[in-house]
């Protein structure tokens, strides 16, 4: 997958979307002194090239997913691509990443209850070809959801320059 690089205007647009993913292109254009078409085109490009995805991220406990978990998964070669494809199709999976270390994949899931989580792990995940080991971490409470401040991309930035810059949702 090719890496997409963004310029300062893209970063400014993304910063506005991090603050409020529903912010109108008109509001962003006015704040940045550019045309609405410029904002629309740049956001469309960044969506198309997977630079950004605009989603509503729910607090699982508030909507009835009372057993969210992170599951680390070890996969035996040469089954990695097949395992990724199958796991990505599980409707409970909200995030899937290839990682380094003892495990190959990190999987965030949202399950209704412990029985649902148990079924997912023992009857489906552990039966995916190549999966040799899983380690689960049950999420008791989500305390923060956010993205890093885009100022971190500037080498001249210091932590004090952006301490309050990264928009986050703190769940209570």
Domain positions in the chain are 1-56, 60-138
Nearest-angstrom CA–CA distance, 46 and 63: 30
pLDDT at 168: 59
Q: Is the pLDDT of residue 83 over 80?
A: yes
Kindly report the number of other CB atoms within 10 A of residue 42's CB atom: 22
Q: What is the per-residue pLDDT across 7-30, written as a single tens digit (0 to 9) for each?
A: 999 999 999 999 999 999 999 999
pLDDT at 148: 85
pTM over 0.75: yes
Q: Is the pLDDT of residue 37 over 90?
A: yes
CATH number among 3.40.640.10, 3.40.190.10, 2.40.110.10, 3.30.70.920, domain 60-138: 3.30.70.920
Q: State the chain's mean pLDDT as an integer.
A: 90
The CATH class that applies to domain 1-56 reads mainly alpha
Q: What is the per-residue pLDDT across 136-172, written as a single tens digit (0 to 9) for each?
A: 999 999 888 888 888 888 777 655 544 445 555 655 5
């Amino acid at each position: 997958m090719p890496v997409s690089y963004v310029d300062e205007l893209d970063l400014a647009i993304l910063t506005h979307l991090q603050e409020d993913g529903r912010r109108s292109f008109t509001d962003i254009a006015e704040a940045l002194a550019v045309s609405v078409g410029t904002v629309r085109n740049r956001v469309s490009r960044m969506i198309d090239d997977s630079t950004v995805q605009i989603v509503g991220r729910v607090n699982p406990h508030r909507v009835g997913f009372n057993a969210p978990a992170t599951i680390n998964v070890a996969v035996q070669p040469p089954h990695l691509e097949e395992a990724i494809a199958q796991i990505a199709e599980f409707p409970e999976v909200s995030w899937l990443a290839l990682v380094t270390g003892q495990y190959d994949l990190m999987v965030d899931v949202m399950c209704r209850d412990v029985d649902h989580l148990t079924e997912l792990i023992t009857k489906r995940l552990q039966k995916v070809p190549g999966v040799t080991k899983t380690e689960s971490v049950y999420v008791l409470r989500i305390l923060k959801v956010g993205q890093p401040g885009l100022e971190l991309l500037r080498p001249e930035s210091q932590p004090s320059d952006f301490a309050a810059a990264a928009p986050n949702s703190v769940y209570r």
